[in-house]
């Protein structure tokens, strides 16, 4: 298992009808996680978030 620090959560996206968070967005570069990348930002779907702690978010890639 590989650990990688992507920095802080920059933004979130949500379904405006239900108020449910659908993904988080962290700053990144296009060379990292091309599957989730959108420009320079990394979009991580909510379903990939496994645990949210005080100072980290654990995601499955």
Chain segment 7-19, per-residue pLDDT in tens:
789 999 999 999 9
Higher pLDDT, 50 or 6: 50
State which H helix or E strand residue 37 sits in: strand 37-38
pLDDT given at position 1: 63
- The model's pLDDT over 29-59, given as tens digits with 9 standing for 90+, comes to 644 445 555 568 889 999 999 999 988 888 8
Tokens describing residue 48: 């990939």
- Cα separation, 30 vs 14, whole angstroms: 23
Tokens of 5: 């620090």
Q: Where are the domains of the chain?
A: 11-59
Q: In this predicted model, which residue has the larger pLDDT, 38 or 26?
A: 26
| CB contact at 8 A, 11 and 24 | yes
């Amino acid at each position: 298992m590989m650990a990688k620090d992507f920095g802080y959560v920059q933004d979130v996206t949500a379904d405006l009808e239900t108020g449910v968070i659908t993904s988080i967005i962290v700053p990144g570069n296009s060379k990292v996680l091309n599957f989730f990348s959108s420009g320079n930002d990394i979009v991580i779907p909510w379903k990939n978030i496994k645990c949210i702690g005080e100072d980290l978010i654990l995601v499955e890639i």
